[in-house]
């Protein structure tokens, strides 16, 4: 069962896991790792990353610098990621040196490039929106309009994605190699987080639905199970399984999906790591996404993804539109006083407009109950900035 540790010191943890990236995802991974007697060591470019105070070894460094990644990961039992923009070359070297790397460097290389992702979906019969790859902005009209243009590399949280409605919007187009994608008539945005271990065992968490705020154009909240038919949920899980099996993937994969207005499920993109759409699993499911991810990193049997509450939801706690300075959290007392609500703050030293500073999980016996609890707290939750008093 699982990997044997090389670390035979009589004191100290039995396993050393490196994580590239020291943000909130790494921080919640550390919480889970304690129960596996695993020591998480972290590398991040920022000296005050959310993990920096909670790890035995924190290395400040550039995650895209192959040599720095190798220097960090040498002699670890295994290494994983909380962000996909890291040096694949560095991870390949570590794998050759005997470090267990999850996700596999080849999978990461495919996923880092949205163009290669789309080609992979197409080659494996995975349903996805029609697309075309372009290198020059002069080709941006190749599929007609409306389209969604996505930078092949480097985008995240919607940065690197632009909707081009018509010819007149071409001046908003990116000038870097990109994917043109047919604009999908979206009914719902869904996500399935699926884990797969070396034995090919897979487990999906129940389908999550992202509910958008049309005014702010940001995810308002996430709720599971999604309000879709049983057949649509089964299809979403089938497609997520198809992706991990076609890739021979090992690790945790978040599969972002569209349910279009004709009722079809399409893959938008995948992320080979823990994901914002799985935060509610900490309270809402038998095994959290963070524990499940660690189980795949350590190649242990997968945990049950069964819900422990009928419905789980998650609201991000973000900086206000003008927030600057040290964080001043509002509404946490109201959240704590509401049944079924659990705040998770990420310990970021500085707040910025709309920066994700934490989240709350809301669980309950029905969708109505969860939404009612959410409405009570959501308007109160905010993070303002406090300026340090001038000396």
Binding site for ligand ADP (CB under 6 A): 129, 148, 150, 155-158, 160-161, 181, 183-184, 186, 189, 256, 268-269
Token pair 């949920």 is at which residue? 233
Structure tokens that stand for 315 in this block:
């609201």
Nearer to ligand ADP, 186 or 310 (CB): 186
Minimum Å gap between C-beta 163 and ligand ADP is: 7
Are residues 152 and 113 in contact, defined by beta-carbon separation less than 8 angstroms? Answer: yes
How many C-beta atoms surround the C-beta of residue 32 within 10 A?
Answer: 21
Give the distance from CA 264 to its chain's centroid. 23
Nearer to ligand ADP, 87 or 128 (CB): 128
| Distant-in-sequence, close-in-space partners of 146: CB < 8 Å, separation ≥ 6 | 163, 164, 165, 166, 183
Minimum Å gap between C-beta 78 and ligand ADP is: 26
Token pair 């909240």 is at which residue? 221
Radius of gyration of the CA atoms of the chain, in A: 21
Give the residues across from 355 on adjacent strands: none
Minimum Å gap between C-beta 210 and ligand ADP is: 7
Nearer to ligand ADP, 211 or 300 (CB): 211
Minimum Å gap between C-beta 238 and ligand ADP is: 21
Say how far apart CA 90 and CA 64 lie, in whole Å.
8
Minimum Å gap between C-beta 165 and ligand ADP is: 11
Nearer to ligand ADP, 79 or 222 (CB): 222
* DSSP strands (E only) in 58-185: 58-60, 78-81, 100-101, 131-134, 147-151, 161-164, 178-182
Nearer to ligand ADP, 117 or 363 (CB): 117
Token pair 């962000």 is at which residue? 83
Are residues 227 and 280 in contact, defined by beta-carbon separation less than 8 angstroms? Answer: no
How would you classify the pairing of strands 311-318 and 218-224?
A: antiparallel
Nearer to ligand ADP, 36 or 258 (CB): 258
Minimum Å gap between C-beta 18 and ligand ADP is: 25
Nearer to ligand ADP, 194 or 332 (CB): 194
Minimum Å gap between C-beta 308 and ligand ADP is: 28
């Amino acid at each position: 069962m699982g990997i044997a540790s090389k670390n035979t010191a009589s004191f100290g943890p039995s396993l050393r896991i490196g994580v590239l990236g020291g943000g909130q995802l790494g921080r919640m991974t550390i919480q889970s790792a304690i129960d596996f007697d695993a020591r998480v060591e972290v590398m991040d470019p920022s000296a005050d990353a959310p993990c920096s105070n909670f790890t035995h070894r924190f290395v400040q460094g550039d995650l895209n610098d192959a040599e720095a990644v190798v220097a960090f990961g040498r002699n670890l039992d295994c290494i994983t990621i909380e962000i996909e923009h890291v040096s694949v070359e560095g991870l390949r070297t570590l794998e050759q040196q005997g470090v267990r790397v999850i996700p596999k460097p080849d999978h990461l290389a495919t996923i880092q490039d949205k163009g290669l992702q789309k080609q992979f979906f197409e080659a494996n019969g995975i349903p996805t929106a029609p697309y075309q790859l372009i290198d020059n902005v002069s080709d941006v009209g190749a599929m007609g309009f409306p389209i969604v243009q996505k930078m092949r590399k480097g985008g995240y949280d919607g940065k690197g994605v632009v909707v081009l409605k018509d010819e007149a919007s071409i001046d908003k187009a990116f000038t870097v190699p990109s994917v043109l994608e047919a604009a999908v008539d979206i009914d719902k945005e869904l996500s399935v987080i699926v884990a797969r271990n070396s034995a090919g065992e897979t487990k999906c968490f129940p389908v999550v639905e992202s509910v958008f705020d049309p005014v702010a154009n940001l995810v308002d909240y996430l709720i599971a199970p999604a309000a879709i038919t049983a057949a649509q949920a089964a299809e979403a899980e089938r497609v997520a399984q198809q992706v991990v099996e076609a890739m021979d993937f090992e690790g945790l994969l978040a599969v972002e999906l569209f349910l279009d207005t004709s009722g079809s499920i399409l893959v938008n993109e995948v992320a080979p790591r823990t994901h914002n759409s799985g935060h509610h699993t900490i309270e809402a499911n038998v095994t959290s996404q963070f524990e499940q991810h660690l189980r795949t990193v350590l190649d242990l049997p997968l945990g049950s993804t069964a819900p422990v509450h009928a419905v789980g939801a998650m609201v991000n706690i973000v900086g206000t539109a003008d927030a600057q300075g040290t964080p001043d959290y509002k509404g946490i007392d109201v959240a704590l006083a509401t049944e079924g609500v659990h705040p998770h703050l990420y310990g970021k030293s500085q707040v910025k407009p709309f920066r994700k500073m934490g989240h709350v999980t809301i669980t309950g016996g029905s969708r109505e109950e969860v939404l009612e609890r959410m409405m009570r707290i959501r308007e109160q939750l905010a993070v303002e900035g406090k300026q340090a008093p001038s000396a």
